[in-house]
Structure 1
Amino acid sequence: MKTIDQWKGESSVDEKEYEKFMAHLYNEHVRYRNKRMFHKHFDPEWGHRWNWEWERLVDVSNLLRYINRCANEYDIYRTITRERIAQLPDEIQDGTRINRHMLEESGFMDAIDTYYDEIVEGMKLEHMPPQEFEVMRQLGSNDAETELSAVIHIMKSRHKSMHSYNQEIRIRYGISYQLENLEKKLHQQHQELRELKDDDSKEQPRKSRRWFKGLGQIAQGSALSIANIGLAVGAFPIPVAAETAGWGAIVSSITGVGMVLNGVGEFRGE
């Protein structure tokens, strides 16, 4: 088996070598930390909180899918109240925060931050179990296979491009920094929308479709990541097969992170 350093910079990926590499990453960064995390946090309070945050992200994801399927912005604001829209950033911020904490405490963040390019280069849709598609369906997807394939394609394409804003920030500061910065932006958006909602003298500006799309991707990616990490550490039961409690969980979680980063681009550039 190749060493970790030999993987860096390689342009082609052998499937068997990739599987060994990923199994090594899981054993090195995740497996034993998961055990400590399980004993530390697997109690009714934490298990309930993770499950509650995941379910709330599922609800928000489905709402945002509905919004993004509206024919025009008039239909959005005719159907969804401004008060409800103003709550969205705050609800998603809570989910992104617990997702980041779970990634960091479980060891997934160490593996993803250090070997993001190597993981992305070899990842394939078939590395994900069929139950991954069920999670996506719960998040409102009508074609989970196509959506996940698209996310993987975008991640593979962008990780090679030094012109990508997210790529430059990731290399300089790491994914944890990006997720924490996202939480701050969501909090800022929530504060601005709440102030406008409470001030009758000011009209709340209508948000663009791109803003809603970005929020939807952030919510879906966070939910997908939470679901896989939660299963890997035994935090709560969700409809994902037990085999994800291995290196496949890293692929699934980094896909969730990729969704979040795609959403950040939409959210930032609305």
Structure 2
Amino acid sequence: MDVRHNVHPEDAKHYTTQELRNRFLIQELFVKNEVKMVYSHIDRMITGGVYPVEPVVLQAGANMGVDYFLERREIGIINVGNAGSVVVDGVKYDLNTTDGLYIGMGSKEVSFSSADAKQPAKFYFNSAPAHKTYPTVKIEKSNITPNHLGSINQSNERNIYKYIHPEGVKSCQVVMGMTVLEPGNMWNSMPCHTHDRRMEVYFYFNLPEDAIVFHYMGEPTETRHVVIKNEEAILSPSWSIHSGVGTHCYTFIWGMAGENQTFDDMDHVDIKTLK
């Protein structure tokens, strides 16, 4: 398990490009028959990926200090690959592409598999500490009514799908969903914002191999950018903006944890003040 420590905004101002990437960018999430995880000390969020050509079991790392992964945690999972399944304490949940699953605290045995080993599933997940057990729930994207926002004139026409949130699938901390940009649109989360009460992780996918996203981060008056490729994620501390523009349209999964679960609790940044 890769462990990332907190970064003070005053320190981040002086980072080189490589230092920014080392602290915040998450690469190579999908390795055959492994659970790849990054443990962030920002709200104790774990970001991970599973690429099960053969069945793979979710296990606690030594850094967690528990007997099993969900002993004191919850997890949100979205399948970004081909059809697969997650087995939770003997109960099987089949997930097609972009279907999700929430698993509550206390589930002991979690394993991942693909419906066809030649066309494997890819399970992306966010996990945060929990204080209460909520039921395990399968989330089908086809059953979610999206919020349609933006416009082609601003290059940000998009559909927002909320998977785990207070008005839907309940959780302790994790709030999770997916934003799908319409063809011809490249911007996300601009005008931008921060939310001092929550951290966030963005995972970019459905991006052609020859395309990139310029992800903007940093304090509003000290912005930096990180170049991101398909199926890479980036950590966003509460003091940082999180916005991006691609050379092609794309989809991204957002996951949050922290003080509250209020989706609209944002500290909006006047675009004129960005530097």
Q: TM-score, normalised by structure 1?
A: 0.29
Task: Write 1 or 2 for the structure with the bigger share of strand.
Answer: 2
Q: TM-score, normalised by structure 2?
A: 0.28
**Which structure would you say has the larger Rg?**
1
Relative contact order: is structure 1 or structure 2 higher (C-alpha 8 Å, sep ≥ 6)? 1
